[in-house]
Structure 1
Amino acid sequence: MERSPGVFAPQWRLTSIGIALAISLFAFEGIAVATAMPSAVRDLDGLAFFGWPYSAFLVTNLVGLGVAGQWCDRVGPGRPLLTGIAVFTVGLLMAGFAGHMAVFVLGRGAQGIGVGLASIAVFQIVATAYPPHLRPRALAIISAAYVLPALVGPVVSGTITAQVGWRWVFLGLVPLVLVGALTLLPVLRTLTAPGRASAGGSRKPLFALLAGAGVVVLQSAGNAAVAGRTALAVLLLGAGLAALVAGLRELLPGGSVRLHRGVPAVVALRGLLAGAFYAVESVVPLTLVVLHDFGTVASGLPLLAGALGWWAGAQLQGRITKMARPVLLRWGLAALACCFAGMAALSLPGAPGWPVYLLWIVGGLGMGVSVPTTGVLVLDQSAEDETGTNSSALQISDVTAAGLGTSAAGVLVGATAAGSLGFGSGMAALSLMAMVICAAAAVGASRTAPQAQRTTVN
């Protein structure tokens, strides 16, 4: 049987390899930094500022995403991609050579901007370099590129940190990043600027900065509440919500909150599924240790199972051609809802812990189906000069919601540690909330079809 040309056919092979390499390196850095951080803060005497490198990356990543959208729409993906890679490389060098915690934090901030710029540019390459029927498989490459770092990242970065020092977790990536840039140069020369971007792009970075600051302030509000500082918590909560809402109103398509049909609904649902998934994922190992007496290795293996499920789901959605994308999205969200319902049950007294391995495969499968599918829906419904802007909104929704979800989970864990709530009850409540969010999103999945295509989802 003759095989149809795929994303690794000769005309797209170098582009696919370049995309896979670039995204894998960005993902590896995000995973590896958690392993290197304890040694870095000890050497830099920065334990009091342990959370700052993470917050700096989150905020500047949103800024990079906000800048990249209309920049790509105006000039094409070439300059934003190369600028992003250059800024990311500078950030790696700053972190690797840092002699003070402030320099390390600035390096992480530069990495956040670089990843934001480059990730939107890569998304636009998918939109312009591949024909529409190959876009699902090209987006599956991006999903798969996150899996390998999830599998080997902690081991590799831990070994590097132990054998040659934490600085090489950052410095060692520099030559690989440059190779990735060189691999993508041929396709960048063939792509032309899609047209003019809409007005207002110069304000995007400011509103992205505002939204990122809102996420950080909301996390601080939760920590203040757990610590019993009620007045401060209320003040921070109000300020954080005001900043977040003001920022997202400018960054997301109009009608996203109300699930207006088409791109606004896709962007909103992407945020819902990301927030739910990352909130629960962040507490899975801790739940197994506290409630089920699992060891360190055994408690981390569900994340490996989830990564494999994500890869399988991404490959599956790339090969399904006869099912409407809103229908496929609904199935992915249903899988996530089932996973979270099971996680809630495992938090009950006397429940076994071993089913979490199966549940997290199901959850990873749901994400692997849903995340690329939302990307395809956005690309299919975007005019040529709107691809960058809409892709930016999709990624901003994802990153912001993931930050809020993990922050909420952290605050909940803090509440259980303070004795305000039982640990099992807290984790069950978190999982049930995530289940409700994904179930509601599944109901609204039919609204991700464009206005003229009222797809019936059965």
Structure 2
Amino acid sequence: MHPRTDASIWSPEYVWVTIGAVALIFLAAMQALAVTTVMPVVSADLDGDALYAVAFAGTLATSVIGMVAAGAWSDRSGPRGPLYVSVALFVIGLVIAGLATTMPMLVVGRLVQGLGTGGQTVALYVVVARVYPPATHGRVFAAFSAAWVVPSLIGPFLAGAVAEYLHWRWVFLGVAVLTAVAFAMVALRLHHTPLHTDEPSEGGRRAVAARLACAVALALGALGLSLAGEAAGWAPGVVAASVVVIALAARPLLPRRTLLSGRGLPSVILMRGLIAGALFGAEIYVPYLLIADYDFSPTWAGLGLTAAALLWAASAYVQGRFGDRIGNRRITLIGTTLLLSAVLSAAATAAWHLSPVVLIAGWALAGAGMGLMYPRLTVLTLAYSTPQNQGFNSSALSISDAIGASAAIAAMGLTFVALAGTSAAFPAVFAVAAALALAGLIPGLRLGHASERR
């Protein structure tokens, strides 16, 4: 498919693909914000404090398997099949979690859900690469970020209200029903849209099998790191072994020199993982802090995430319109400064028990920073890609997200459990996030320029 280069993403030839893709992002956003809000309630109801971080990290860990499978499948025969299967797994995982009677069962549901969310993300990125001209990619990903606006307005509050006045199970089951209905519409719209390429991937089945094996090893390593706290005296050995497994398994799944922050695409991929770890690792403790230390109800604790989500969408719009003019270096510096300011304000609030307004207002800066950086890194990834490796590079970007976030959540979970019951628990978590945000400057200043300015 060779689309016009002057078309709008809302023109007749793209409008239904745009609506379908944005609808899936919308529901994923609704689910992500809802789970972050209600997980403290779920953990208390199922007596699962020890598995609190695992419920998040596990989803990210298994998403790597979905990412790799969807990337390889997309490169060989297009993204339609991977997208359909991924959405089905997403719904199945939500149903299992919604019906869970124990925390381990809920974690199982989250693991299945992770397979779906990972595959869906990669498949949608390849859909963008195959359907839209490069000049519109920034606007497409800005639209994806804007799809968080309504969920950010009503998602956390609605999830908290559902958990408080109905039951937290409906937060999972309700999203499952809505996803099934929406996807029925999306499938009809994508059915007649050409998504193939005339230059399919040359990778063989052995190469794909090797990458899948690495993805499974990576997921197991991330899960091992998350569960290290349950190993008692063996915990240091489990942590060390898990880190080694993650490092070795990640290398074949990422572009060469990614872990060394090679200039260009490797640094794009590495930076995405570092800022994802900083943001998503810290974010799950924001409503937790509001509920535990400030006696917020789940409904009002959810609103603590609203301002950040809104500023994320607004910043993404700015990036989509003026990203080339601002430049990659300035986006890195501005975005990192905003993210660092947010986690430091959270740490200060927890350490000195400042007003919760400081936490909520400060956390909004994280959304502003991520809205600039996140879609920009996606645009750069596609700009550095060719039709033969769009799936690989898209999956690498998402894998870096998952590795960074799951490893950060696991590390923060171990830190939090080790300091549980002390005043240092929450500040220490946010300090880890601050370190990751600062580390993101190293690859962030080595992004280079591809063809994102076309």
| TM-score normalised by length of structure 1 | 0.83
Partner amino acid for 2:78? G
Q: Structure 2: how far apart are the matches of 1:96 and 1:211? A: 27
Instruction: Report the residue type matching 2:130 in the other structure.
Output: T
Aligned to 2:258: 256
* Alignment gaps of 5+ in structure 2: 1-5
Give the aligned partner of residue 282 of structure 1.
284
Matched residue type, 1:198:
G
Identify which range, 245-254 or 55-64, moves more after superposition.
55-64
Which residue in 1 is equivalent to 2:414? Answer: 411
Q: Could you list the per-position Cα deviations for residues 188-224 of structure 1 after superposition, in whole angstroms to 9, with x for gaps in the alignment? A: x354354224352222222112111111211222455
1:214-363 matches, cutoff 5 A: 214-222=221-229, 224=231, 229=232, 231-288=233-290, 297-320=299-322, 321-349=324-352, 351-363=354-366
Q: After alignment, is 265-274 or 165-174 more displaced?
A: 165-174
Match of 2:211 among 197, 204, 210: 204
User: Over residues 103-131 of structure 1, what are the superposed CA-to-partner deviations in whole Å (9 max), with x where a residue is unaligned?
Assistant: 86655444322222221110011112112
CA shift at 1:440, angstroms?
A: 3.6
Partner of 1:192: 197
In structure 2, the residue matched to 1:398 is: 401
Distance 2:144 2:99 in 1: 30
More deviation in 14-23 or 101-110? 101-110
| Distance (Å, rounded) in 2 between the aligned partners of 1:354 and 1:451 | 41
Which amino acid letter does the alignment assign opposite residue 253 of structure 1?
A: P
| Deviation of 1:322 (Å) | 1.9
1:290 & 1:88 partners in 2: Cα distance?
A: 30
Whether contact under 8 Å (2:156, 2:306) holds in the other structure is no
Unmatched segments (≥5 aa) in structure 1: 454-458
Q: Is the 8 A contact 1:265 1:448 kept in 2?
A: yes
- Measured in 1, the distance between the counterparts of 2:119 and 2:51 equals 25
8 Å Cα contact 1:287-1:427 kept in structure 2: yes
1:57 corresponding residue in structure 2: 59
Displacement, 1:310? 0.8
Which secondary structure does the structure 2 equivalent of 1:186 belong to? coil
TM-superposed CA distance for 1:409, in Å, is 2.4
Matched, 1:181 2:187: yes
Task: Report the alpha carbon displacement of residue 185 of structure 1 after superposing the two structures with TM.
Answer: 2.5
1:372 correspondence with 2:375:
yes
Higher alpha-carbon deviation: 10-19 or 342-351: 342-351
2:201 aligned counterpart, secondary structure: coil
Q: Output the aligned Cα RMSD.
A: 3.4
Deviations 1:26-48 (A, max 9, x none): 333344456787999999x8969
Shift, 1:247, TM fit? 1.6
Which of 59, 65, 68 does residue 66 from structure 1 map onto?
Answer: 68
Q: What is the count of residue pairs matched by the alignment? A: 439
Query: Which stretch has the larger CA shift, 174-183 or 115-124?
Result: 174-183
Return the alpha-carbon distance in structure 1 between the equivalents of residues 182 and 234 of structure 2.
45
Using the TM superposition, name which of 359-368 and 437-446 deviates more.
437-446
Higher relative contact order (CA 8 A, sep 6+): 2
Report the residue type matching 1:404 in the other structure.
A
Structure 1 residue 307, shift from structure 2 partner: 0.6
Q: Which residue of 2 aligns with 1:456?
A: none
Distance in 2 between residues matched to 1:443 and 1:36, nearest whole Å: 35
Q: Is it true that 1:449 corresponds to 2:452 in the alignment?
A: no
1:2-23, CA deviations, whole angstroms, 9 ceiling, x for partnerless residues? xx85322322211111111112
- The range that moved more, 58-67 or 294-303, is 294-303
Q: Deviations over 1:339-363 (max 9, x none)?
A: 2333333344364442223322211
> Do 2:71 and 2:391's aligned partners in 1 also have CA atoms closer than 8 Å?
yes
SS of residue paired to 2:10: coil
The separation in 2 between residues aligned to 1:40 and 1:292, in whole angstroms, is 18
Paired residue type of 2:332 = L
- Give the corresponding residue for 1:437: 436
Equivalents in 2 of 1:39, 1:437: separation in Å? 28
Q: Which amino acid aligns with 2:142?
A: A
Paired with 1:34 and 1:436, the residues of 2 have a C-alpha distance of 22
State the AA in 1 paired with 2:212.
Answer: P
Q: 1:291 to 1:82 in 2, by over 3 A?
A: closer
Q: Which shifted more, 203-212 or 268-277?
A: 203-212
Per the alignment, do residues 310 and 223 of structure 1 end up closer, same or farther by CA in structure 2, a change over 3 Å counting?
Answer: farther
Any conservation in 2 of the 1:223–1:414 contact (CA below 8 Å)? no
Compare 369-378 and 86-95 and name the one that shifted more.
86-95
Instruction: Trace 1:26-45 onto structure 2 (pairs within 5 A).
Output: 26-33=28-35
* Aligned-partner Cα distance in 1 for 2:100–2:421: 36
Q: In structure 2, what is the Cα distance between the partners aligned to 1:26 and 1:452?
A: 29
**Range moving further from structure 2, 393-402 or 409-418:** 409-418
Amino acid at match of 1:137: R
Q: Contact 1:56/1:105 (CA < 8 Å) preserved in 2?
A: yes
Tell which deviates more after alignment, 356-365 or 410-419: 410-419
CA distance in 2, matches of 1:98, 1:342: 36
User: Once the 2 structures are TM-superposed, how far is the Cα of residue 378 of structure 1 from its aligned partner?
Assistant: 0.6
The 1-side partners of 2:133 and 2:191 are apart by: 19
* TM-fit CA distance, 1:159: 5.9
User: How does 1:164-175 map onto structure 2 within 5 Å?
Assistant: 166=170, 168-169=173-174, 170-175=176-181
- Does structure 1 residue 381 correspond to structure 2 residue 384? yes
Measure, in 2, the Cα distance between the counterparts of 1:431 and 1:47: 22
Distance 1:431 1:114, change over 3 A: closer
Q: 1:133 aligns with which of 121, 126, 135?
A: 135
Q: Is the 8 A contact 1:22 1:181 kept in 2?
A: no
CA contact (8 A) 1:327 1:445 kept: no
SS in structure 1 at match of 2:13: helix
Point out the more displaced range, 204-213 or 284-293: 284-293
Give the counterpart letter for 1:331 in structure 2: I
Q: TM-score, normalised by structure 2?
A: 0.84
Distance 1:119 1:323, change over 3 A: same
Aligned-partner Cα distance in 2 for 1:299–1:94: 25
Cα distance, 1:350–1:244 mapped onto 2, change above 3 Å: closer
